[in-house]
Chains A and B, each alone.
Chain A
Amino acid sequence: MNNSVRNTARLLTAGLRALLVLTVVCGVIYPLVVTGVAQAAFSGKANGSEVTSHGKVVGSSLLGQRYDKGTDKQGNPIPDLRYFQPRPSAGLGSNRKATPPVNPQYDLQVSGASNLGATNTDLIKAVKERKQWVATTYGVPESQVPADAVTSSGSGLDPDISPEYALLQVNRVAKENHRSADEIEKLVQDHVQGRQLGFMGEPRVNVLELNVALRDLTQGQR
């Protein structure tokens, strides 16, 4: 009896010691080595791919953000149509404990999806409303509105829109900026990224990079 207690104690100690030494290897040395090499070799990327414009950081090229001109009386953001607009964002992980903030969209610290099912009435309603908004705002028939313009992404921080959605916004953006549609369309075409190696993923347009280029183009006017 006494012997088996001693054996159990010895075994548990061995388990704990194994855990501690492997914690040092996998939890301290490994991440520090990786961080060291990453910071030395790819410091821009390892620190979040920040984009600067005229010496100021304007965000990360990997994370989406909103382009608003303030909020209305209810606290809902008003999109600034001089700029290209991103996808809708649920951006509210279901694990969020605090009461939802007024504007959780593209909140960098609340990544997440809507998690609404394909037959969920809230989602059906949201998709239809967004479709109507895009169609009216940009003056196109609803049948031309692409899927990514009316659905929220998995991360809620999708930095990209489809080329279709970007092109659909061209006329309105050109008008708001007093520019010709051809000029803006060329800007969009220059920012379309094809599939990686021709077959990986989907073609897309990085909204932040496009808007930075757009602001550079139009800056003289404001």
Chain B
Amino acid sequence: MSPALAGVLQLTALIAALALAYRPLGDYMAAVYSSPRHLRVEKVIYRCIGANADTQMRWPAYLRGVLAFSLAGVLFLYLIQRLQGHLPLSLGFASISPDQAFNTAASFVANTNWQSYSGEQAMGHVVQTAGIAVQNFVSAATGMAVAVALVRGFARSRTGELGNFWADLVRGTIRVLIPIAIIGALILVACGAIQNFSGIHEVGQFMGGAQQTNGGAVASQEVIKELGTNGGGYFNANSAHPFENPTAFTNLFEIFLILVIPFALTRTFGKLVGNVKQGYAILATMGIIWLGFTALMMWTEFAHGGAALQAAGAAMEGKENRFGVGSSAIFSIATTLTSTGAVDSFHSSFTAFGGGLQLLGMMLGEIAPGGVGSGLYGMLVMAVIAVFIAGLMVGRTPEYLGKKIGTREIKLAACYILITPTLVLGFTAASMVLPDALGSMLNTKAVGAGPHGFSEVLYAFTSGANNNGSAFAGLNANTPWYNTTIGLAMLLGRFLPMVFVLALAGSLAEQQPIPETAGTLRTEKPLFAGLLVGTILIITGLTYFPALALGPLAEGLS
């Protein structure tokens, strides 16, 4: 069997697994977020929080909950990193410097998991397990909560009430993420991922002597890192490290974990708005883009363009033998089209065109299928824009799911889609004129030196502002400039969009529903899915084409 055929079969198996999980998981999540009952453990948690989980919140209150909880997360994570040197179980690692601790705290709370540190060289058990892994859960649950609030905005009328943030946060964590994580972690351990607290210890070597190696709670962190589309690796090599991702099967399983909630949320959306076909239209849009990108990536990686890869005979630089080219290509698209950023192969060493696909995937705003929650709300904002454009074309007042898309709604949607490009292009431009920032580029000796170095910086800010967290790791990002600016890009790129999403949700929930007429755009039909794909590609293309031309396009053509 040729590697390409094996790659296609792996993709087929992945799609089949996702299809099997789609309905049960989507329906389950819809039930979780609309159930009037609390579990006993949840009641205990609400009592600890001191919040009444039955009060309904309007959008400002919901947003205040999100922000207060996230602020506590940033402060706590910053603090335990700064104190690491004095904590028990820290494996002798020192406290983290202020700029790096800020960067890491921002990164994990913003569901980005950009890492300017090397896991096995810097972080002990406490920071990894009680700091970082906790944010992997709760930042994902926060994203899902905001998405559900937006869906309620479409589903509800004449109220303005969007649900209760504390209830949504706790339910997402307790009923959705933890059960899947426990099962997933045990599957990973059964395949060879490690799960212990043995810290740094010696392991004997074949030729004699011994080497130091790190033990840790790796499998339990690995599974939520993928499931919550977080992406921060326990080890520097992330999911390429054999202790995080030991076999070809675990590689596919991890890709499945990355994609399963973002795709299934479209079913949840359809259920909650009372028309599952609306969910299918969104699913089709996500699926088309994801499949298209994956096909292109497999094609370019098997073609292995670029002088070094041509000389080697295959695109194996930065890739593991047990995965091979096909499986690595599927992983790299899954991770960049969601907000995950975990890597099982190193993106900087992909073909120039492949690197461009990864960049473009993040630039789409990570909506195909996107991060847990953030993918769905990002896609729904795009749907609002698409409905608006369609409305302009036929001269009718745009409406979506029985709600009028008026001036206020379109302004909020427009603000949403402008935030990330502003952050990405603004910070990249600033880095290009600062001498210190320029010195961090590794690939300055590349043929066509400029373009790859520019790509590294553009990739870093695209990854940060879109909350992806993967890196063109040639860039030395552990400098005060990059730690601070990427930290800001991550926080602003995560929470400003949430402000507009929740405001949009509030505005929609206050409206009267409009009855469907013969002139209503049928948003559950393939025509609309096609329009939505077009809108996404055009908006992203117009925004980023000049920057892409300076980076990967210039490198690929040189």
Contacts and interface: CB of A to CB of B under 8 A. Distances in A.
Tell whether A pairs with B. yes
A59 B203 contact: yes
Interface of B: 1, 3, 6, 9-10, 13, 45, 48-51, 64-65, 68-73, 76, 115-118, 120-121, 129-131, 133-134, 136-138, 166, 169-170, 173-174, 178, 181-182, 185-186, 189-198, 200, 203-207, 211-215, 217, 219-221, 224, 235-237, 240-243, 246-249, 251-252, 304-309, 311-324, 327-328, 343-346, 348-352, 355, 442-443, 445-448, 452, 472-478, 555, 558
| Category for how many chain A residues contact B | 35 or more
A144 B464 CA distance: 42
A12 interface: yes
Contacts of B248: 195-196, 200-202
Contacts of A1: none
Interface in A27-76: 27-28, 30-31, 33-35, 37-39, 41-42, 45-50, 53, 56-60, 62-63, 65-68
A214 to B, nearest CB: 10
A187 interface: no
A65 B324 contact: no
Contacts of A153: 240, 316, 318-321
Contacts, number: 403
28 contacts: A12-B71, A13-B50, A18-B48, A18-B170, A21-B45, A22-B170, A22-B173, A27-B130, A31-B217, A33-B182, A34-B186, A65-B207, A80-B207, A113-B473, A114-B346, A115-B346, A115-B348, A115-B473, A117-B306, A117-B446, A117-B555, A120-B443, A120-B447, A121-B445, A159-B322, A196-B249, A197-B249, A201-B247
B182 A111 contact: no
Contacts of B166: 14, 18
Contacts of A195: 1, 6, 248
A156 B181 CA distance: 28
A188 interface: no
A201 B327 contact: yes
Nearest to B242: A62
A161 B320 CA distance: 9
Contacts of A27: 129-131, 133-134
Given A25-B174, A118-B309, A95 B236 contact: yes
Contacts of B328: 154
Contacts of A94: 442, 473-476
Contacts of A107: 211
Contacts of A120: 308, 443, 445-447, 452
A190 interface: no
Contacts of A191: none
Contacts of B249: 196-197, 200-201
A128 interface: yes
B186 A57 contact: no
A157 B242 contact: yes
